[in-house]
Amino acid sequence: MDEPSATGVLGHAEGEGVIHTRALTKRYRGGQLAVDGLDLTVPAGSVFGFLGPNGSGKTTTIRMLMGLIEPTSGTARVLGHPMPRATRAVLPHVGALIEGPALYGFLTGRDNLLRYDSADPSADPRTRRARVAAALDRVGLAAAAGKKARAYSLGMKQRLGLAAALLRPRRLLVLDEPTNGLDPQGMREIRALVRELASDGTTVFLSSHLLDEIEQVCTHAAVMARGRLIAQGAVADLAARTRGRLVVTTPDTGDAARVLKERGVGDVTVTEDRVAGEPPEGELAELTAALVAAGVRVRGFGVERASLEDAFVALTGEGFDVAG
C-alpha cells in the first residue's frame, strides 16, 4: 500500500526501518557514479549519522530519499513507502533542512514562519500564531522572534530553519550538514536541539563530515566513502569493532619497541616518547613485566579507547580527509 492509511498516519513494517534502501544507485548524466549500491536501514527512534568526506555521496542519497531526484537503479523506502513514487504522501511527515533554510531577510523570524506555515494548505490558519510561537520557543528563538532574519547569526538562521521543519509533528527529520559553517557555540546549540528532538521519539537522520559530531549526537551511523557504504550500525558497535591501541610512554622507545615486537605486538609505531601497537590477546600485566625486566622505564601504559575515527581509518584504510 503506497497511500496513507485512513488515519493519515504512515505505517511501516516492523524492523524495516524508517529509511530503507536496497542497492540504491545514482549515476549522474555526466557519468559520475555518486551512489553505488547503497543498502541503508535507519531504525525508528534513532539519531542516525550519515558520515562521509565531502563528495562521498551523502547529499545525492538525501536527495533521492526526499524524492528530489530519481535513482538510476535500486529502491528507497521512507516511512514504509517507495520514493519518489510516494513523495506526496511521505513528505508531510518529514521535516527537512537541506542546503540551508530559505529565509526572507527583510522579514522577522516570526513572520518568516507565519509565511511558511500559510504556504501549507493543510495548516489551520486559526491556530497559526500559536503553532509559530511554539516552534520558535522549541528552538530557543522566542526572544529574537521580532528581529529581522538578516540580523540573525548563521546559527540562529539554522534554528529558524529547524523551527520551520517543526511547525507540524514529524516522524522523521532529515538534516543535511546542520552545523556546517557554524561556530563552536552554534554547533553546540544545534547538537543540543537535535538531542532534545530525538528524546521526543522523532527519528533524526543527519549527514555530517565531522566524526566527533556523530560520536557526540548519534546513536547509529553509516559510513560512506566514494559512493559506497562501508559500515553501518550502532555507534558504540562501530567503534568497538576497532580495538584500541596499546600505548607505552617511555624515554626508552627503542628498547620498548623491541620488547613489544618480541612479545608478538603487531603494528608497532614510535612517535616521540610513545610506543604504540595492537593490543595482544593475553594478559597485559605480562607485557609490563617484560618491559620492566628489559630495563625500560615505563612512565605510562594502557590501551587507548578506539574512536569512530579509528574505526573509519580501519574500515577504509585511509584517513578521514575532509578537505577533498
Ligand X SMILES: Nc1ncnc2c1ncn2[C@@H]1O[C@H](COP(=O)(O)OP(=O)(O)OP(=O)(O)O)[C@@H](O)[C@H]1O
Catalog residues that contact ligand X under the rule CB under 6 A. Answer: 28, 30, 32, 34, 52, 54-60
- Cβ nearer to ligand X, comparing 54 with 118: 54
- Cβ nearer to ligand X, comparing 21 with 250: 21
Of residues 59, 61, 56, the one with CA closest to residue 227: 56
Distance in Å, CB of 96 to ligand X, minimum: 14
Distance in Å, CB of 57 to ligand X, minimum: 4
- Cβ nearer to ligand X, comparing 55 with 92: 55
Distance in Å, CB of 50 to ligand X, minimum: 9
Q: Which amino acid is at 75?
A: T
Distance in Å, CB of 240 to ligand X, minimum: 26
Backbone torsions φ then ψ of 77, nearest 5 degrees: -120, 135
- Cβ nearer to ligand X, comparing 28 with 104: 28
- Cβ nearer to ligand X, comparing 23 with 130: 23
- Cβ nearer to ligand X, comparing 15 with 30: 30
- Cβ nearer to ligand X, comparing 4 with 52: 52
Residue pair 72/37 in contact by the 8 Å Cβ criterion: no
How many whole angstroms separate alpha carbon 41 and alpha carbon 2? 19
Distance in Å, CB of 30 to ligand X, minimum: 5
